[in-house]
Amino acid sequence: MCRSIKTLRPPVLPEEATEDDIRAAALQYVRKVSGFRAPAAHNQEVFDRAVDVIAEATAELLAGLEVRGASSRKAG
Protein backbone atom coordinates (compact mmCIF):
# COMPACT_ATOMS: atom_id res chain seq x y z
CA MET A 1 0.00 0.00 0.00
CA CYS A 2 2.76 2.45 0.74
CA ARG A 3 3.26 3.59 -2.82
CA SER A 4 3.67 7.34 -2.95
CA ILE A 5 1.24 9.47 -4.86
CA LYS A 6 3.12 10.70 -7.94
CA THR A 7 2.97 14.10 -9.57
CA LEU A 8 0.71 13.57 -12.56
CA ARG A 9 1.35 16.66 -14.68
CA PRO A 10 3.93 17.33 -17.35
CA PRO A 11 6.84 17.84 -17.34
CA VAL A 12 7.17 15.64 -14.22
CA LEU A 13 5.19 12.89 -15.94
CA PRO A 14 6.54 12.67 -19.50
CA GLU A 15 3.08 12.10 -21.00
CA GLU A 16 -0.42 13.01 -19.91
CA ALA A 17 -1.73 11.04 -16.94
CA THR A 18 -3.95 8.12 -17.85
CA GLU A 19 -7.26 7.33 -16.24
CA ASP A 20 -5.47 4.45 -14.46
CA ASP A 21 -2.79 6.85 -13.13
CA ILE A 22 -5.47 9.19 -11.79
CA ARG A 23 -7.50 6.39 -10.24
CA ALA A 24 -4.41 4.88 -8.57
CA ALA A 25 -3.56 8.25 -7.02
CA ALA A 26 -7.15 8.70 -5.80
CA LEU A 27 -7.17 5.22 -4.29
CA GLN A 28 -3.85 5.84 -2.54
CA TYR A 29 -5.18 9.11 -1.13
CA VAL A 30 -8.35 7.48 0.22
CA ARG A 31 -6.32 4.64 1.73
CA LYS A 32 -4.00 7.09 3.44
CA VAL A 33 -6.74 9.35 4.77
CA SER A 34 -9.02 6.51 5.92
CA GLY A 35 -6.24 4.35 7.33
CA PHE A 36 -7.65 1.31 5.52
CA ARG A 37 -5.97 -0.55 2.70
CA ALA A 38 -9.24 -2.35 2.05
CA PRO A 39 -12.37 -1.25 3.88
CA ALA A 40 -14.77 -3.56 5.68
CA ALA A 41 -17.87 -4.50 3.71
CA HIS A 42 -19.99 -1.94 5.56
CA ASN A 43 -17.58 0.85 4.47
CA GLN A 44 -16.97 -0.30 0.89
CA GLU A 45 -19.60 1.92 -0.73
CA VAL A 46 -18.42 5.16 0.88
CA PHE A 47 -14.78 4.20 0.23
CA ASP A 48 -15.45 3.55 -3.47
CA ARG A 49 -17.51 6.73 -3.79
CA ALA A 50 -14.65 8.76 -2.30
CA VAL A 51 -12.20 7.26 -4.80
CA ASP A 52 -14.57 8.15 -7.66
CA VAL A 53 -15.05 11.74 -6.49
CA ILE A 54 -11.33 12.31 -5.91
CA ALA A 55 -10.42 10.78 -9.29
CA GLU A 56 -12.94 13.08 -11.00
CA ALA A 57 -11.61 16.14 -9.16
CA THR A 58 -8.05 15.16 -10.03
CA ALA A 59 -8.86 14.77 -13.73
CA GLU A 60 -10.58 18.18 -13.69
CA LEU A 61 -7.58 19.76 -11.98
CA LEU A 62 -5.09 18.27 -14.44
CA ALA A 63 -7.23 19.29 -17.41
CA GLY A 64 -7.34 22.87 -16.20
CA LEU A 65 -3.69 23.36 -15.28
CA GLU A 66 -1.55 25.49 -17.53
CA VAL A 67 2.10 24.51 -17.25
CA ARG A 68 4.19 27.45 -18.37
CA GLY A 69 7.70 27.02 -19.64
CA ALA A 70 7.30 23.31 -20.39
CA SER A 71 5.07 23.60 -23.44
CA SER A 72 2.01 25.46 -24.59
CA ARG A 73 -0.40 22.56 -24.05
CA LYS A 74 -2.56 21.95 -21.01
CA ALA A 75 -1.88 18.93 -18.80
CA GLY A 76 -4.64 16.45 -18.52
- For residue 3, give the DSSP letter: P
Cα within 13 Å of Cα(71), Cβ side = 10
How far CA 72 is from CA of 8, 26, 34, 75, in Å, comes to 17, 27, 38, 10
Q: Which pLDDT belongs to residue 33?
A: 96
Distance CA 6, CA 15 (A): 13
pTM of the model: 0.79
Given a cut of 70, the residues of the chain with pLDDT beneath it are: 1-3, 70-76
